[in-house]
Structure 1
């Protein structure tokens, strides 16, 4: 209320109002991609290659912004999303992002995907004061406002997730033997380091085998065979969709009766569990934050009603059941909330300021109890997880929402 009164008093001054309007126009004129009728934003995603299952994220976000535009846009401006394919290849990401910034003149980057691809462009974007917003990765290195003030993550950090799994393992199988399949980059190493941190002095005895893979490899079958041979009774799958599906299927086919934890980058029933086999996926445990639209438990949630209406008009039944698409609906809604908070000042500085000023925003499709919260010294928007287990049809809740 105090802020509102202060603003009213300020606007009562004709000179102040004129200065404010002039300042907003100047900021707009100085911001690439922003005109009186348009906000141009850019992103890269792997529409091709081993991680192409994530391409649905960009398609969903484009459809979401079309829905916003069909309703008149934001303050009279339409959102123009330019989404380019980088094939999950960092050199290609650099090439495409330079094209977006220097040729397409986008106002900022939104929801670019992957740890290595985003790391490849972070310094360039910060050197040029271009917001790199709501990065689609949980790597902690994208929540460092002191050194990289133009970069902000979105997903719960991989450290948070690994801490939650470690705590659950210590509570349920304190004498268990753990094997870990992990992607050989910051994504996988963050998990492994955080798991060891949580297990503490027991890590050396409990983690009996580790095996990494490169995203260029065709299969992880040999790694799974090696891990199964270790005698472990807990299997942590730190893998992106293609390789997660392979690991789920192979571990089942080997008759390996281990408790299996699945990274929350790969919970999609449509693109991971169905290809792996729903029967073969039974018993998987993950840490979720997005509602499983296939679970009738959530059928009366307002988010589900919004999602159904959206996919009926702008997408299809296939996307309705895809966890990656549901995730995209939520993060696009969060981006729109930031732009609403910006009002008429769409300068890059104010976009970052408002992104760092989200207070208990209940983004659509987040599990109830999980919210988006940011501040100038907190660039980790989501810091809660809900443990879930797969019953062959949908993900079922285990316990209460957990905080790191």
Structure 2
């Protein structure tokens, strides 16, 4: 027998020996030869319903993948429930998903208060609580909460980013702050004040809060204007962000206006507020902006627009939350691809903590990277300013950890 034939036979033998191990399938709750159940809660109603497009686009993406054969031959059963941005409702919906529907894991549960309400439960049940639609700093705690992983860049880091920009460009400015009176708002505020350091004691001249049950924030804006501030840090969710932007313009206040990224959607925030009233807003990005013409010929953006046209025609393509939803779904699909045939909850978490992936809808160079001791997928942000039509980047992308 020739050496060549011996090598060929040896290769076949090795392949056959490896085949049983490779083909061995392991399943946890919600997974089988044909299906993977994924759970989600999101506010399709209530004060934060603008975020509902995230769930709609994720459902659309998984439907498209299913029509293409699924992931590793399995169809995604995506069960998305409305929690109205109410923590008690989130607890009720999550218990249903975990205990009745028996999902393999949850993804993109939205809101800091809502996720705080289920944080301990998910870790006690050892159910992967993945890619939370909130940037609270506490989601990156693999030691104490090994089953929870965020998605958004850290709110405190984002707050520091704005503070650094203010110190660099407006060192003598007077700052007014509006924030939502819960963990989400307080997290942004802490990062911002930490970033200002000792100067924060003199630069911040007025701070006011609002509740998610408030009808408007008009009176808060009037109060802030009266403080004499020439810089405004707007820490609000979409409904209130649109109100604040509109009211700032209507009362003739002209501060340098920083808007937290979670409400930087052109479609769901700036258009309702008035594009003309939004000119000059400063925020940050890490996901491609559908309103930015530079992405017109980008393959990922073309895929995004085609996805919405076919599978979610009621979703506004200009809605930044929709682009966010696709990015989160793309990262979820990557985790499942990495899982292969080992679809246990333990392996889902292991793969989620072993990412090094350029999400198609993320900005170039903004790579989702995680490790067993670091659960924060994103570490780079780009400061942007609104020009009346789209967000324009300025300065260099900055690491925020």
> TM-score, normalising length from structure 2?
0.94
Residue 283 of structure 1, CA deviation = 0.6
Corresponding residue for 2:80? 83
Q: What is the alpha-carbon distance in structure 2 between the residues aligned to residue 277 and residue 102 of structure 1?
A: 44
| Aligned twin of 1:66 | 63
- Listed as ranges, the matches of 1:312-331 within 5 Å are 312-316=309-313, 318-331=315-328
- Residue segments in structure 1 that go unaligned for 5+ positions in a row: 1-7
Q: Deviations over 1:147-192 (max 9, x none)?
A: 0000000000101111110110011101111111001111111111
Residue 5 of structure 1 corresponds to none
1:199 match: secondary structure: helix
Q: Equivalents in 1 of 2:57, 2:257: separation in Å? A: 30
Q: Does the 8 Å CA contact 1:154/1:381 hold for their aligned counterparts?
A: yes
Identify the residue that residue 379 of structure 1 maps to in structure 2. Answer: 375
2:162 to 157, 162, 165: 165
Q: Is the 8 A contact 2:239 2:269 kept in 1?
A: yes
Query: Alpha-carbon deviation of 1:316?
Result: 2.7
- Mapped to 1, the partners of 2:140 and 2:207 lie a distance apart of 27
Structure 2 CA distance for aligned equivalents of residues 79 and 12 of structure 1: 33
Contact 1:47 1:87 in 2 (8 A): yes
Question: Could you tell me how far 1:345 is from its partner in structure 2?
Answer: 0.3
178-187 or 293-302, which moves further after superposition? 293-302
Whether 1:255 aligns to 2:257 is: no
CA distance in 1, matches of 2:367, 2:138: 21
> Quick one: which of 27, 51, 56 aligns to 1:54?
51
Structure 2 equivalent of residue 175 of structure 1: 172
Per the alignment, residue 390 of structure 1 pairs with: 386
Name the SS of the counterpart of 1:320 in structure 2. Answer: coil
Contact 1:369 1:401 in 2 (8 A): no
Instruction: List gaps (5 residues or longer) in structure 2.
Output: 1-9
Alignment of 1:3-14 (within 5 A): 12=14
1:294 Cα deviation (Å)?
Answer: 1.2
Instruction: Check 1:48–1:317 CA distance in 2 against 1; reply closer, same or farther (3 A cut).
Output: closer
For residues 243-296 of structure 1, give each alpha carbon's deviation from its aligned partner in whole angstroms, at most 9, with x where no partner exists: 000110111111111000001001111111111111111110001111111111
How do residues 80-119 of structure 1 correspond to structure 2 at under 5 angstroms? 80-119=77-116
Query: Does residue 137 of the first structure (1) align with residue 139 of the second (2)?
Result: no
CA distance in 2, matches of 1:112, 1:130: 13
After TM superposition, the structure 1 = structure 2 runs for residues 276-315 of structure 1, keeping only pairs within 5 Å, are: 276-315=273-312
Q: Where does residue 401 of structure 1 map in the other structure?
A: 397
Contact 2:315 2:322 in 1 (8 A): no
| Distance (whole Å) between structure 2 residues aligned to residue 19 and residue 279 of structure 1 | 61
Q: Distance between the aligned counterparts of 2:76 and 2:297, measured in 1?
A: 30
Q: CA deviation at 1:330?
A: 0.8
Shift of 1:21: 4.5
Q: Deviations over 1:63-120 (max 9, x none)?
A: 0000100100011100000000000000000000000011111111111000010010
Looking at structure 1, the residues matched to 282 and 103 of structure 2 have their Cα atoms a distance apart, in angstroms, of: 40
Q: TM-score, normalised by structure 1?
A: 0.94
